[in-house]
Chains A and B, each alone.
Chain A
Amino acid sequence: DTAVSQTPKYLVTQMGNDKSIKCEQNLGHDTMYWYKQDSKKFLKIMFSYNNKELIINETVPNRFSPKSPDKAHLNLHINSLELGDSAVYFCASSLRRREETQYFGPGTRLLVL
């Protein structure tokens, strides 16, 4: 069984569209994260939720809205997509907040045309 899964794996869309990426973890972890990896492989945290509560919200445009319906799921909705949003988005989870080991999903490669 996949520990942290993301859908879709690839997403190609036009500028201005709205899209969502879904993430699920079956590890029983309390904390989940969204990261953005740019074309140069630089990886930066965007959001973190602990038991459905937002605990980290980095400087991210408010076009990006995370939603956690339960502690096993953390979805990312992006409005009005821009060219600069093209990146690989990784979901991750950890047993609890401040738990040092994070488990990453396989990533969602987003291309905005």
Chain B
Amino acid sequence: GNSVTQMEGPVTLSEEAFLTINCTYTATGYPSLFWYVQYPGEGLQLLLKATKADDKGSNKGFEATYRKETTSFHLEKGSVQVSDSAVYFCALMGSNFGNEKLTFGTGTRLTIIP
């Protein structure tokens, strides 16, 4: 079955540091890949997505590139802010009909200190 593995947290960085959160996946076919973010006390929000190999998703300064050869979708940001503190979830949706659910990684809690 499909699965997503992302780096364990928590991750603590200073403001303006470079961020990488690793994500790798296992899936048959050509899944779509996502990063969702959960701010404290809120539901999840889509941060970015990529639907085919070599696509780059980007939003709010965050980027992730769909790498089929390494089955990865690492999240990066060049300069983090305190407001980026949240839990980040990598997820995939299978490409097969009937396999249309989102499978999430375990989440990575990110804390940015001023």
Contacts and interface: CB of A to CB of B under 8 A. Distances in A.
Contacts of A104: 43-45
Interface stretch (A14-22, A39-47, A64-72, A79-87): A39-47
Contacts of B100: 48, 55-56, 97-98
Given A58-B101, A90-B43, A92-B44, 13 more contacts: A41-B87, A41-B106, A41-B109, A42-B107, A45-B101, A48-B100, A90-B44, A100-B49, A101-B49, A102-B46, A104-B45, A105-B43, A106-B42
B25 interface: no
A58 B104 CA distance: 14
A92 B107 CA distance: 18
Given A100-B49, A104-B43, A43 B89 contact: yes
24 contacts: A4-B43, A41-B106, A41-B109, A42-B106, A42-B107, A43-B89, A45-B102, A48-B100, A56-B100, A90-B43, A92-B43, A92-B44, A98-B93, A98-B97, A100-B32, A100-B51, A101-B46, A101-B49, A102-B44, A104-B44, A106-B41, A106-B42, A106-B43, A107-B43
User: What band does the interface of chain B fall in when counting residues whose beta carbon is under 8 Å from A?
Assistant: 20 to 34
Interface of A: 4, 40-45, 48, 55-56, 58, 90, 92, 97-98, 100-102, 104-107
Interface string B77-114: 00000000001010001000100111010110100000
Interface of B: 32, 34, 38, 41-46, 49, 51, 87, 89, 93, 97, 100-102, 104, 106-107, 109
Contacts of A105: 43
Contacts, number: 50
A95 to B, nearest CB: 12
Contacts of A90: 43-44
A86 B93 CA distance: 27
A99 B107 CA distance: 22
Contacts of A98: 93, 97, 100
B46 A43 contact: no
A48 to B, nearest CB: 7
